[in-house]
Structure 1
Amino acid sequence: MVNWRGSFCVPTRIHYGLGSLEVLAQIGIKNALIVSDPFLVKSGMIKNVTEQLDKANISYTIFSDVVPDPTVAVVVSGVAAAQKILPETIIAFGGGSAIDTAKGILYFYACINEEKNEESKPRLIVIPTTSGTGSEVTDFAVITDEKAKAKIPLRDKKLMPNHAILDANLVRSLPPTVTADTGIDVLTHAIEAYVSTLASDFTDALAEKAIRIVFDYLPKSYQNGNDDEARVRMHDASTLAGMAFTHTSLGINHSMAHALGGRFHIPHGRANGILLPYVIDYNSKEEKAAVRYAEISRLLGLNYMSDIYAAKELRNMVIKLKENLEMPSCFKETGIPEADFLASIEALAATAMRDSCTQTNPRVPTQEDLEKLFKKAYYGN
């Protein structure tokens, strides 16, 4: 199931470790558009970035209209802000929504100005404030089409960040629920990358390390946000998983989560976490996929002879981890009205089938398969 031919490139320069944000003043920025969200501005966290820019006398403008599940309208507004200052650098500061918004702005700003090559488009620097998306090293972004009530995955080399700054000082204050949601997102990225039809020895190494770190350090981050080692390791795991899935793409776990997020606005990581055990069960019915899940199970020390049984034990480990993180086990527990969910299943499945992530799932699904999976994940059976 591992790809024996392909290419592997990690163009993003990664700066990591506590205090690594200081490198921002040394990168040679001239004029920046900072893309962030209102909370990070009002709380003063944005000063972590602006103080570094002020130190180096760098000109900047803050665009803080970011919303959860960033919309086409917000991206258009951000492009207009960029057009006013013609930034040489765009800085994404925040979680997945801020990063996706910044990527959307960069993409359309470059297109409008016909800046099609790496030399002329603004540089992108990503400073994540959650340990989950991996977007700091991917050429992916997800934008919400409010009219269609669907998330639109974008993928283009223009979206690959030039620099990623992984300063775990910025995630100390994350609430436990956000730590859990984003941490499970890391695990889903890594597992889906490992079982993807585009997996390789290179992506396997990254995914395996990320999976190990999540099981070892996510519960510690959840229990004590001031555990520096746990915070640093989870920040690293997020990037490792991102490096893996930007080469492999993902699978139906993400296709389904994208569809749910676009319609019901469930936090992305939470949606992925709810779906993960059901997707493992579904994919394990394909023999090669079961072998890959079994390899992960054995990597974590569960030495079962049967691949099918080992795959089931991986599912059970995921369920146990989620219980320790006090996460919902099904969508009914998130408060989505039953009638609304059931009425949407056909549309959700159709949207997930069209999602690009579905193409690299280890088992080829039908729309009926996805409808059944959505129903199982709602009731928890």
Structure 2
Amino acid sequence: MIEFWISAGLLCLIAMGFLLLPSLRRNRARAEEDRTAVNVALYEERVQALEEQHQAGVLDEPGLQTAQDEAARELLADTDGDAGRQRVRGRVVPMLAAVCVPVLGLLLYAKFGAIGAVEQARTAAEAPGTIEQITARLERAVRERPESSQGWYFLGRTLIAEGRAADAAKAFQRAAETGGRAPAVLGLWAQALYFAGDKQWSPQLDALTDEALAADPSEASTLGLLGIHAFDERRYADAIGFWEKLLAIMPAGEPSRQGIERSIAMAKAQMDQRSNAQDAPTPAKGIRLRVALADALQQQVRPNDAVFVFARAVDGPPMPLAVKRLRVADLPAEVSLSDTDAMMPELTLSAFEKVELVARISRAGDAQHGEWIGREQGAPRAEQALREVVIDALDKGASGNER
């Protein structure tokens, strides 16, 4: 703003010069002429009177000369005094004008001027460097003009770009309140509320989206939000419907079209996967077990020692039916064994009714040989929901002959 005040001061000085200098020159010249004329007229009258006195014999020649010299000295003294007084008055008037005119102009501008608009225009002319600078500028603008719906709208857009969804929701709310609840603003408001609320739907979101679509059935932000919400709830057909409506109103070169098309493809893939899962036979349930380490062995094992958990048939082949690998540091741990953990496709866990559960610690990482072992003797596979194996004994054999 210093440039503005310097320019204003220079213009004020120039205006004062145009107004005051000619007036001062005219007044000074006129005053000097008037006073000089009066003094000269008085001098001439006095000289004439002295001449008459000399002719009448009242004054001799030396007296006449002396009187004329005295009249001349008085004329010079009166003229010098008038010039001095004029010079004093000539200095006072410009000084008063130099003080009063800028002060009066400043007071009038403070009351009727637009210094805020000048500052805002200057700030707007500067190119912002970062999104944070843009946000700060818009926040300052809406503080100065809180009735500007466009200011609140653009502030909400930049806050969304910064990831400040809660603040963006407040900005879009103010934009809706000051701008007549435009459908586009309502859609963005709903989007910001949705993400600020950790994608939890609410009655307020229902009201906003319904209002936006009632005013504009093709409102883009609302259609996109409803598609996202439907996808998150696994209502893939609804999501596809909302997103296809959105694609229908998008220009061909719109950059976001590719993102919407990918989302539609994902929803269709999820629908196909769900359909295939419903058509496939239901797999047999696995076994849930808890593996723990006995207190007596806590100081003898190492955190990175391998722990092999496996199930094998009580009345069947000796090789394991399902295996998983852990570390001692993971214990105690809950493990689930199922057909997906089978070592051989033809030997699955679901094919045997009774199984034995074994947990072995092996520092060498060998599932067949180790240092410590724990067993849970065979029981019907579905007899209990959670079974338990405690590793509490020295391992004296291999997995194929340790029964």
Bigger Cα Rg: 2
TM-score scaled by length of structure 2: 0.25
Tell me: higher relative CO, structure 1 or 2? Use CA pairs within 8 A at least 6 residues apart.
Answer: 1
TM-score scaled by length of structure 1: 0.26
